[in-house]
Chains A and B, each alone.
Chain A
Amino acid sequence: MKNNNCSKKLWYIKKNWQLYIFFLMPAVILTFIFKYIPMGGILIAFKDYNSLKGIWGSDWVGLKYFERFISSPDFFRYLINTLKLSLFGLLWGFPVPILLALILNRIRQEGIKRKIQLLIYLPNFISVIILCGMVKIFLSPVGPINSLFGTSTDFMSMPEAFRTIYIASGIWQGAGWGSILYTAALANSSQELIEAAIVDGANIFQQIWHVDLSAIKNVIVIQFILQAGNIMSIGFEKAYALQTDMNIPSSEILATYVYKIGLLSGDYGFSTAVGLFNSIINVVLLVFVNEIVSKLNEGQGI
């Protein structure tokens, strides 16, 4: 029986060899080389890496790097910075797209609605460098914001301003685009329910609360959980582009720290150890989040 099953499988593979060789092979090879081999390279985190000896030949140092960063006050500051930046970003940034979608949904003139959408989606396509360049221009001591208030504050050098700048510019860039999913869910919600609510004398807030919000409730929950699962994987590019020597106390996050000690200072082992720690927290978070989603979603994970 088992043998029969096996030969059946072999027959299938033989018959459909094109599927494996032609369609899947390129993706498998690329994934193996560029994703799995670096996973093996994580060994560097436990070794005294020497480029002449290679990864395998280098001497083991055990948990030296982990002990070093766990006992370093800098590391905890950067961990806290990372968490604060993404948590506050989530807290402030999350409701804005929902609000935008709820308001847009009430615009009856299709033409105007389309024009506004076209406009608020636009910043999503501006590159990180241009966005940060614009932020720096607008906030410079001689820039328009300062001349508007007649001051000359150098916002970019203030550690206490960094998070606000980062989060506000993130909302500016991403909130419009983020509203698409909600707008789509609202468009699919039943017009009859709204009409029934109106007949029942519900005012617009009651309609939104009982009809619109319940129509997009699932999307909101899924989006929130997905974003919450990503709080440790906050990107390198924007934080690094907004960094100045002066705002480092709040702008240094784990991703930029890993880059600096690894590639700029050449401390490969230590950098890999910090990166590994970061991705482990991330995986734990994601597994946890996936559990919650499947509980809410009647057994279906992401």
Chain B
Amino acid sequence: MGIRKKSFADSLFYVVGYLMLGIFTLAIIFPIFYVIIASFMDPTVLQNKGISFDFSNWSTDAYRRVLENRMIWVGFKNSIIYSVAFSVVSVGITVLAAYPMSKKDLIGKKIFNAFFVITMFFGGGLVPTYLLISDLKMLDTIWAVILPNAFNVWNMILARTYYQSIPTELREASAIDGASELVYFFKILFPVCKPIVLVLVLYQFVGMWNSYFDPMIYLSDANMQPLQLVLRSILIQNTPEPGMVSDITGFAEMSKIAELLKYSTIVVSSIPLLIMYPFFQKYFEKGIMVGSIKG
């Protein structure tokens, strides 16, 4: 590489390319940075002058209001319960089903495959699904958000692809030792497949943590709402939880505080993700790679 002098075209590429990459990167950093700074500011200063680094004006008042609010904690608790339960149930069922589907000689494999894959492309739609959940008396229960999408066909395909990369000699050897399919799966295959299981658990966990549609239609009880629905009323519907602004009188003051609360709410609700992100990021990347082999 070093032999050749950099031509004009090369320099042009690096200037334009790095500039574009720089702008994109800044466009991602800036809003995140802005939200964090703004969440510490005095609402009046923020509204009139924008963010400033005059630390004397900073306060943690907005955080106090958010953290003292019961609904945020209820939301956190529910989100953790739903996400943990969903990822365990979903990945459990999915990796189990993927095992027979990874066998070349399974009788009925084509039928099962069609049975599952059709649901990726066609479904009953919103109202029939809602009526079913309602008929099953699952409205306002945790099952409504967990069971309907627990078996994920795409994840089953990912797990199946991974199993197929494990030499079949392993199964043959264990069969000679008299191990049943169950014993083989749990004692030998499952431990070898931990990476893909971890990827799927993270996928499902984050997916459930971030979703709001299913909880919105199936859970109307305020005490069952996950964090995203609490955030939705604060951020999207502009209605802070009642307790957060109860001491404020005057409409103008209230709307300023409500605006400020949005920033601190975003920060508070994103902290778990930001802490975990560097750890799980590489697993997600791995998951995409496994998927692309097949897709």
Contact = CB atoms under 8 A, between A and B. Distances in A.
Nearest to B184: A18
Contacts of A190: none
A142 B47 contact: yes
Contacts of B224: none
A272 interface: yes
Interface in B21-39: 21, 24-25, 27-29, 31-32, 34-35
A31 B20 contact: no
Nearest to A8: B107
B97 interface: yes
A176 B168 CA distance: 38
B228 A127 contact: yes
B115 interface: yes
B281 A203 contact: no
Interface of B is mostly: helix
Nearest to B273: A125
A30 interface: yes
A181 interface: yes
B123 A180 contact: no
B126 A130 contact: no
B235 to A, nearest CB: 3
Interface string B208-219: 011111000100
Interface string A83-117: 00000000000000001101110100000000010
B206 interface: yes
A271 interface: yes
Contact of B210 (A128, A134, A258): A128
B142 interface: no
A144 B38 CA distance: 10
Interface in A145-183: 147, 172, 175-176, 180-181
Interface residues of A, number: 89
A9 to B, nearest CB: 5
Interface of B: 1, 4, 7, 9-10, 13-14, 17-18, 20-21, 24-25, 27-29, 31-32, 34-35, 47, 50-51, 93-94, 96-97, 99-101, 103, 105-108, 112, 115-116, 119, 121-132, 147-151, 156, 180-182, 185, 206, 209-213, 217, 228, 231-232, 234-236, 259, 262-263, 265-266, 269-270, 273, 277-278, 281, 284-285, 288-289, 292, 295
Given A134-B266, A142-B47, 7 more contacts: A16-B106, A103-B21, A122-B32, A132-B235, A134-B31, A237-B213, A263-B126
